[in-house]
Chain A
Amino acid sequence: MRPIGLRQSGGALKRLAIPCLSLLLLASLTLILPACTLQTGVGYNKGYSPEQPIAFDHSLHVGTHNIQCTYCHNQVERSRHSNIPALSTCMNCHAQVATNSPQIQKLREAYEKGEGVQWVKVHMLPDHVSFNHAAHLAKGVNCQTCHGQVETMSRIEQVTDLSMGWCVNCHRQPENNAPINCSTCHQ
């Protein structure tokens, strides 16, 4: 039990504190909420293009050499995930190709040690969203529709905001005949 005097003074403080805190809360909400919601793209990481442990160049592989996306991301047509290729996939070519490049040497080193490369995740959805690559590909959606002109990117960049509004916008187009149930994406 606390001494009575302290309790009383505490009560007085509390009486003051509540309106003060409420005011503060209101003020912060009026300032912060518009900043988050009205300013498009904020909080969605559009334009995110982090440096990767190995400077893999999509423009070289896809743009110059015309390698199909599904050659490396080979599980994308049967899985909800688009797999980041295993190092063994890279080594299919790079056992012979460009073996002197320092980047490839990094790759070879990791491969020989049997360690995966820690790529930085660029396109990320929250845990409560379930996106299925295979379903979209089966419907004939192009990789570029969501991922942009990957064939021109030397470093991969998130070009769309991947927000719910952005998803739903496409799903709502009558020609797409896409479901718009909540459980379509949230399960």
Chain B
Amino acid sequence: MGVKHNSGDQDAQGPAHEARPKERPIVERDNRYWLSLDHYAQDPEFLKKVDEEFGSSPLREDKEEGWARREFMKLMGASLALSTASCIRRPVQKIVPYAQQPEEVTNGVYNSYTTTISDGHETLGVLMRTREGRPLKVEGSPENPLQGGATTARSQAWLMSLYDPERLRGPQKNLFNEKRTNKDTVGVTWESADAAISEQLKKGDIALLTGSTSSPSLKSVIKDFSQGFRANHYVWDPISYEDIQAGQKASYGEEGLPFYRLDKAKMIVSIDADFLGSWLMPATYNHQFLATRNDIKNMSQLVVFDSNYSLTGANADIRVKIKPSQQIDVVMAILNELSKLGADVNGDLKATFADYASVGDEMGVDPELFKMIAKNLWDQRGKAVVLAGGPATQTEWGTSLQVAVNYLNSLLNAEGNTIYSQAMGNLAGGAQQLFALVKACGEGKVKTLIIHEANPFYALPTQAWNDIFKSVEMIITTAPLMNEVAQHAHYVLPMSHAFESWGDSEPVNGLYFLHQPTIRDMYDTRGLGLSLMTWAFMAKVGPERIQKAETYFEYVQAVWRDSIFSSQGKGRSFSQFWDDTLQTGFVGALPSSSGRGFNASALSDVKKIKGRSGLELVLYTTTAMGDGQNTNMSYLWEMPDPVTKIVWDNYASLSVNTAQKMDLHEGSVIDIKWMDQTLQLPVHIQPGLHNDVIAVALGFGRTMGGKIASHQGGNAYTLVKWQDTPVISGSSVEVSVVKGKKIELACTQGHHSMEGRQIVVEATVAEYSKNPGANIHRHKVWNFWPGHAYNGHKWAMAVDLNVCTGCSACVVACQSENNVPVVGKKYVLQGREMHWLRIDRYYTGTPENPETVFQPIMCQHCDNAPCETVCPVLATVHSDEGLNDMTYNRCVGTRYCSNNCPYKVRRFNWFNFRKVDEKPTQMAYNPDVTVRPRGVMEKCTFCVQRIKEGKLKAKLDGRTLKDGDIKTACETACPGNGIVFGDMNDPESRVAKVFKSEPRAYALLEEWHAAPSVRYLSKIRNNGKETMDRDSHSQKGDHS
């Protein structure tokens, strides 16, 4: 058999060995891309920091104490003790087999179950990988019609809430004194709690407060319960969509939220709707949006008018910075241009729109811009959509904005094409209902209040709730841990985690997901459904269904049998239907609708916002924190914000000019004053922000959200004007500087500078059409490496920058799969974050108006790996399948490999980070991946455990490995299928095709000829320009 010999330059241009030293690689310095403002300004402090990769070293002599030497002796002592210990007989370990072997469990082999994660407003159909009855990893469910396998960073981190050490182990009773100030609790049994609550419920006047739920069964059980006890049900979410609902009502006479079909759109205009980050259903909309970006010549165009620098703005082909009071102007200016293009607009309205002809000038943007947007929208009518929404549009003029947007959409014939009306009946929570509840409590009409998945004590100023404590005789909550609600509740009846319980949901009308438990109840917990059923049963009230069912599972089945089976059964028996649904995880289809008539008279309320000056507040939700209710998950806190790359904090973002004017620096502390509220926060200087905007993230500043979530950042909900339609953004705020105080923000970007070489490549569609490989600089490389022989497999990866939105699902998926520790803010500040996969965010352009590119970077598994040659103990060596193996037990921690890695992907364990994990967090560890101790290097392994699992499975099945059998954790998490992993030696594999024939593919630092096994596909911008902007200071052809 002939030996295939991959010398590693198969992808270089021309035979490498012919190159002469005079053609030494050209080292490029492309300074158009910058990581931070310091970097942009070439600040000497920053450049010094870049040189110093690790920030600090324990062996650096401390002048005061000289501790470094002591530390050395201590370490030596420890290693001496260890070397003696290894000669002693090991501790005895026990193996405890099952008494009764469960049929489906094979020790050491994964079982995957379909289930559902309901995270606030988004419901994700997922596959849960479990081992020996223990959920270990959330994977996307590819057949799911809504997300198609997409996941989010939050859903990937969801596992940590199951294994949260602070979860309550059983029901608790609060030992209140007369004034209800005592916060001590005592454990009680379910029997005694049920008895006391039943007694209380007999008194009547019961109210239930819940967040929005998409579960038909939970809604039904609440309805049955309310019917039996004549209870009132109030639904409230801190972040709701009341502006959209109000706008829908004014425009069409119906309140329901629409479902958007971005996958059918060729032209998308978003006004502050961060649909890729946190608005409505980010996984779904990421998936839909990215489906329109694959066919590059016909790809969609995304235009974003952005008050904050949102993730959606960062992915826009054209991003325009605005302030909230310009939102309506923008829409009206587009309408004005559209009316000139032949849209059916009557004369009066035309005159109204003409008032907005000068908006472009007022905003200081190219007046042609609105013409172009209107033209593109008009050309794509029926395939265009305009979105507005999110906390940034919930302003005093929010309804008017929505009406204008609805009118725009109706002109574009979007209804029934890209917008399906009335399709999300689930999100019904509104502040009106909350105020109705407060009023009822104040009037003494509530004796018992049951609170489930709602936390008004965190989001609302406490003052409004004092009425409630005083008048309600008993507050009951299902909080899973002692949070702000639980400390005020008489009974805390912790609910079972979603992964422990049965349930269902209807994320969009007509599509049903089943939740199935993937682990037995870990503690003595119970879902709200069963509690309501128990109390109804004890009181003998309510319809037959709630009386008859003994478990919530039976109840769910009964609901499905009564309401869903009839329409979705399709001739199957119920048990067959149920089993089939469990297998796929869903039943039903995406909704559809036809167009509706727009009520043009609503437009008369749309008025220009005039006379605004000074700072306008923009509140936003982040990809990681959501609305802030479920945040006790360390993975989320250490996930860098996709745009700012800051971890563990929230901050007030100001534009570069405003910060300069106020003499503020990164980390300066300011007081934000609004009405009688003051919020103190550090400043983050955000490029690309409107000068009149101050942007703050919601979801931080919990006072009692668990050890991880509490006391991190400031609670921006205090700046919300709570009224029937809450005013979240657009308020005028005063800012004053807190002198002499500084809060350092832990930003992960800047530690890993790429020294200005060609790392990300962008091209416009026009450039791509002429030359698909546009702007990629190919290099002549010369080589003195003998190369490696890859006779079996040769693993490789391709990452498409064009479909990377920076959503960071892969970052958390990698962390969850590979037992990557969380290090905390202190160590991130020292550059010690441990993520194996990071997403670099590059700004390009000016700090006033930069564009953004995202680039996921993991170990490149180089053929000529620089790390391998410098390891003195051969702890990192090349495998015969092209992997750069890392052997932890051989590593002595010299960190030479990290110094020599041009991609800066290696991570060093400065401490035994995992040692501080409290039980049962360890249960989330992947048993196939070694937990690394202190003093060793680690890095991406291409999920070698999955490679081995896939190979073995193929072997045991007696077949050869197929492309797609092995999927890395990041690959399965990606909403856009942007990461492809496979075997280069299989010519039919997707990755081999990319390497061989994809013109957009390029290797990082090709000129250095480390011959990486990862290819990046250049990003294409559909911005209507001929070429990428080249005005910045680039210094090409710089020989080093």
Contacts and interface: CB of A to CB of B under 8 A. Distances in A.
Interface string A20-48: 01000100110011011000001101000
B89 A45 contact: yes
Contact of A124 (B90, B108, B889): B90
Contacts of A89: 101
Contacts, number: 139
Interface in B863-897: 877, 879-881, 883, 885-890
Interface stretch (A62-70, A110-118, A165-173): A110-118
A187 B930 contact: yes
B784 interface: no
A121 B92 contact: yes
B97 A187 contact: no
A95 B106 CA distance: 24
A159 to B, nearest CB: 17
A132 B88 CA distance: 27
A143 interface: no
Contact of A75 (B76, B106, B877): B106
B41 interface: no
Contacts of B928: 130, 187
Contact of B109 (A35, A43, A79, A84): A79
Contacts of B877: 182
Interface stretch (B532-540, B830-838, B941-949, B996-1004): B941-949
Nearest to A110: B99
Nearest to A84: B97
A128 B99 contact: no
Given A111-B99, A182-B879, 8 more contacts: A21-B73, A50-B92, A79-B106, A84-B95, A135-B955, A182-B887, A187-B928, A187-B930
B97 A80 contact: no
Nearest to B89: A45
Contacts of B610: none
B107 interface: yes
Contacts of A128: 888-889, 930
B100 interface: yes
B879 to A, nearest CB: 4
B interface, how many residues as a size bin? 35 or more
Contact of A121 (B93, B100, B885, B886): B93
A114 B100 contact: yes
A22 B919 CA distance: 39
Interface string A115-142: 1111111001011101010110010000
Contacts of B97: 83-87, 116-117, 119
Given A25-B80, A35-B87, A181-B883, A18 B73 contact: yes
B95 A119 contact: yes
B246 to A, nearest CB: 55
A78 interface: yes
Contacts of B13: none
B883 A36 contact: no
Interface string B985-1023: 000000000000000000000000000000000000000
Interface of A: 18, 21, 25, 28-29, 32-33, 35-36, 42-43, 45, 50, 75, 77-81, 83-89, 110-111, 113-121, 124, 126-128, 130, 132, 134-135, 138, 179, 181-183, 186-187
B1027 to A, nearest CB: 44
A36 B929 CA distance: 28
A110 B880 CA distance: 49
A185 B101 CA distance: 29
Contacts of A28: 80, 84
Contacts of B880: 179, 181
Contact of B96 (A35, A77, A118): A118
Interface in B933-976: 941, 944-945, 948, 952, 955-956
B192 interface: no
A-side interface mostly:
loop
A29 B80 contact: yes
Contact of A181 (B76, B879, B930, B931): B879
Contacts of B948: 130, 132, 183, 187
A133 to B, nearest CB: 9
A78 B958 CA distance: 12
Nearest to B945: A187
Nearest to B73: A21
A21 B101 CA distance: 55
Contacts of B76: 25
Given A79-B107, A128-B888, A182-B877, A88 B101 contact: yes
A79 B107 CA distance: 7
A120 B94 contact: yes
A28 B80 CA distance: 8
A187 B952 CA distance: 15
A147 to B, nearest CB: 15
A85 B98 CA distance: 8
A121 B80 contact: no
A121 B94 contact: yes
Contacts of A110: 99
A32 B879 CA distance: 34
A78 B94 contact: no
B86 interface: yes
5 nearest CB pairs, A to B:
A86-B101, A181-B879, A116-B96, A182-B885, A86-B98
Interface string B82-122: 01101111101111111111000011110000000000000
Contact of A78 (B69, B83, B87, B109): B109
A120 B106 contact: no
Contacts of B87: 32, 35-36, 42-43
Contacts of B90: 45, 124
B109 to A, nearest CB: 5
Contact of A127 (B83, B99, B930): B930
A114 B96 contact: no
A83 B889 CA distance: 26
Contact of B99 (A18, A35, A115): A115
A33 B83 contact: yes
B956 A138 contact: yes
